Amino acid sequence: MSEQKLKNKDLNYYYNIARNLLEDFYDCNGKPGWICTPEKFGVTMGLGGAGQGQTFQANYDTLKQYNLKTSLIKANHDPEMSISIFGKDLTMPVMGASVSGVKLSINDIISEDEFYWGLMKGARDFGSIGMVGNTPACPDDLGVTVAGRNDGWGIPIIKPHSQEELIKLFQLAGKLDVIAVGVDLDGVGSQFWNAHGKPLYRKTEKELGELVDCTEKTVIFKGIMTVNDAVKVLDSGAGACYVSNHGGRPMDCGQGVAEVLPDIAKEISGKIPILADGAVRTGFDVLKVLALGADVALIGRPLAMMSVAGGDEAVKLYYEYVKNDLLISMIMTGCDNLQDVTMDILARSKK
C-alpha cells in the first residue's frame, strides 16, 4: 500500500487491516460468492453461519429480490432521516447489532472489552446506539457493565440463560446507565454455548413477561422470525421486537429476514418499534429494510470488522459511509422523510 494511502485513515484503510487480521475468514461480510465456506468440522465458524451458510445467504438473497424505484420529478428537499427512539435522538435509523466473541469468532485480535467499547463509542460519536452481545468466553455480565460506561448510549443483549440468571443480569442493567436491555432468544441454538457446556433455554410467554416486569428499562427480544412470535413479544410488554435470524449463526436452512419482515410489520407496526438486521451493508440496504417495515436497521459483521481493525474511529467511519448512501437513496427514490419510506418505493426483481 502506498505511503499516502496508509496516512489516509479511510474505510479502505481499516478494511485492509481487517482483511489481514481476519485472514481466511475476513471475507464473510456479505458477498454471496465469498461467504461462509461450509463450516469445517470441528473448526469455529469465524464470522460465518451454521452449516453451509444458507440462512446467511437467504438474508442476502431475499433482500436482493427488492430494488429501489427511482422517483425524481418533485420539489427538492434535503431528506430528514433522524429518529427518536428509546428516549434518544439518532442521526439516522441505523444501529449496531449485538456482536460478541472476539476470542471464539474473530481471531482473538483484541480484548472483548475493547471490542465492545469500539462498537458503542463509535456509534455514540456518530449519533447512534451500539449493542453488544454475550459470549461464553467471558463473564456473562461483561456486556452489561461495558454498556453501562457509555453515558447511556449502549444496549446489552444477553443470552437466554436460566430465568434466575437472566433476572439477575437484567437487574444489574437496571442499576447502570444503559438505554435498554435485551435477550437474543435465538441464542438458544448457539453452537458456542453448547460446545462450552453452558445451557441456554427457550423461553415461554410467561417468562418473557417476567423479564419485562423485573426491570424499569426498555426490554428488547431479538431473534423473531415469525408473526406468531412477534405477537407474543408485543403481548409481553416488551419495548421492541428485533427481527433477526442471528446472521444465520444458530440454524442453517432458515428463512431470510426480508422474506418475513413485511408480514411481521403488517401485524405489529406502530404498536411496538421493529428492529431488523441481516445482510444490511450499505445505506441502500438500509432504505430497503425500512421500506419492508423496520423502524431501525441494524448492522453486524461490518461493524465488528471495523471495531477490531480501528476501534471507535473505524466504526464511526462506517456509520458515516452508510449515512451518505442512505441520503442519496432517499433523494433518488423521492423520499423527503422516513414517513415516505414505504413498500411503494420497492420493486420486486423479476429475475
Ligand X SMILES: Cc1cc2nc3c(=O)[nH]c(=O)nc-3n(C[C@H](O)[C@H](O)[C@H](O)COP(=O)(O)O)c2cc1C
Sign of the CA dihedral with 127 first, then 133, 139, and 141 last = positive
Among 161, 232, 249, 316, binds ligand X (CB under 6 A): 249
- The answer to whether 103 contacts ligand X (rule: CB under 6 A) is no
Stretch that binds ligand X, among 245-253, 265-273, 282-290, 331-339 (CB under 6 A): 245-253
Stretch that binds ligand X, among 121-129, 173-181, 258-266, 300-308 (CB under 6 A): 300-308
CA distance 133 to 304: 11
3, 94, 158, 239, 298 from 271: Cα distances, Å = 53, 20, 24, 10, 20
Among 85, 178, 179, 279, binds ligand X (CB under 6 A): 279
Stretch that binds ligand X, among 166-174, 207-215, 242-250, 258-266 (CB under 6 A): 242-250
CA distance 112 to 147: 12
CB contact at 8 A, 117 and 303: no
Q: Which helix (H) or strand (E) holds 21?
A: helix 11-22
- The answer to whether 276 contacts ligand X (rule: CB under 6 A) is no
CA distance 133 to 186: 12
**Would you say how long the chain is, in residues?**
351
| Interacting positions 23-42 with ligand X (CB under 6 A) | none
Among 103, 161, 217, 301, binds ligand X (CB under 6 A): 301
Q: Which amino acid is at 262?
A: P
Among 62, 107, 134, 236, binds ligand X (CB under 6 A): 134
271 burial via Cβ count (<10 Å: 0-12, 13-18, 19+): exposed
Q: Which is nearer to ligand X, 79 or 274 (CB)?
A: 274
| Interacting positions 174-213 with ligand X (CB under 6 A) | 184
CB contact at 8 A, 100 and 133: yes
CA distance 166 to 176: 16
CA distance 62 to 96: 21
Among 51, 118, 130, 278, binds ligand X (CB under 6 A): 278
Among 265, 280, 291, 326, binds ligand X (CB under 6 A): 280
- The answer to whether 100 contacts ligand X (rule: CB under 6 A) is yes
Looking at the DSSP assignment, which residues form a beta bridge with residue 131? 155
CB of 96 to ligand X, least distance (A): 9
CB contact at 8 A, 294 and 90: no
CB of 302 to ligand X, least distance (A): 7
Number of residues that bind ligand X (CB under 6 A): 27
CB of 250 to ligand X, least distance (A): 9
- The answer to whether 157 contacts ligand X (rule: CB under 6 A) is yes
CA 224 vs. chain centroid, Å, equals 13
Stretch that binds ligand X, among 165-173, 209-217, 240-248, 288-296 (CB under 6 A): 240-248
Q: Which is nearer to ligand X, 158 or 330 (CB)?
A: 158
- The answer to whether 300 contacts ligand X (rule: CB under 6 A) is yes
- The answer to whether 47 contacts ligand X (rule: CB under 6 A) is yes
Stretch that binds ligand X, among 113-121, 145-153, 168-176, 243-251 (CB under 6 A): 243-251
136, 189, 319 from 41: Cα distances, Å = 20, 17, 35
Q: Which is nearer to ligand X, 153 or 193 (CB)?
A: 193
Q: Which amino acid is at 83?
A: I
Query: Around Cβ 215, how many Cβ atoms within 10 Å?
Result: 18
Site string for ligand X, 56-95 (x = CB under 6 A): ---x------------------------------------
CA distance 121 to 240: 22
**Binding residues vs ligand X (CB under 6 A):** 47, 59, 97-101, 105-106, 133-135, 157, 184, 222, 244, 246-247, 249, 277-280, 299-301, 304
